[in-house]
Amino acid sequence: MRSKVLKSCLALAIVLAASLGPVEFAHAQAAKGPSGLPLPRFVTLKSKRVNLRIGPGTDYAVSWMYLKSGLPVEIIQEYDNWRRIRDADGTEGWVNQSLLSGQRAAIAAPWMKTKGKGIFVNLRREAQPSASIIAKLEPGVMLTIGECNGDWCRAETEGATGWVAQSEIWGAYPGEAFK
């Protein structure tokens, strides 16, 4: 009896999933925060000096200070004018929303920084694995992102513009598409 119920539930889930068709990542995966914007979402630091606080307010202690504008961070929670963020290293804390920008950026394979020399992320001329390589990026290099198609992101760093595999950066979700 239990296996019949499970099979029926599985069949119903498959039918429902098929009827929905393809759905963009942001609409299928993300919940909405109090701001009406999706959570989680990627943004960048607007200012060169940003205090990361242990709570949502200026009465809370500063646990870290970021000294680079344009750094990608992930908003994971909202409270009033405050956003709980996570950086590429996993550090979390609260930042005032006025210090964040909707512009997109990414970091080339930050999880590969400790793997040694000779590991690179390829910046390609076109959005395909066989396209010619414009630049070899070391893990940790920051990129400005203009658009992503779900598999590839158009990126720029230090004058080089091309396409990078979305799976090799931190700053865009797998399957996320935007312009």
pLDDT tens, residue by residue, 23-75: 344 444 569 989 999 999 999 999 999 999 999 999 999 999 999 999 999 99
Q: Which residue has the tokens 């500063």?
A: 62
Whether the per-residue pLDDT at 13 is higher than 60: the answer is no
pLDDT (tens digit, 9 = 90+) per residue, 130-143? 999 999 999 999 99
Name the residue among 40, 48, 51, 123 with its Cα closest to residue 86.
Answer: 40
**pTM of the entire predicted model:** 0.80
Smallest CA-to-CA distance from 50 within 64, 61, 37 is with 64
Residue 117: its pLDDT value, please?
86
> What DSSP line would sit under 15-50, residue for residue?
HHHHHH----HHHHHPEE-TTSSEESEEEEE-SSSE
∠ Cα 65 41 108 (to 5°): 70
**Amino acid 59: pLDDT:** 97
Closest CA to 43 of 86, 79, 89, 82: 86
pLDDT at 161 over 80: yes
Q: What pLDDT is recorded for position 18?
A: 35
From 36, 44, 33, select the one nearest 76 (Cα to Cα). Answer: 33
Instruction: Encode pLDDT of 77-133 as tens digits.
Output: 999 999 999 999 999 999 999 999 999 999 999 999 888 888 999 999 999 999 999
Of 135, 75, 144, give the one whose Cα is nearest residue 107: 144
| pLDDT confidence of residue 29 | 53
User: What is the pLDDT, as a whole number, of residue 30?
Assistant: 63
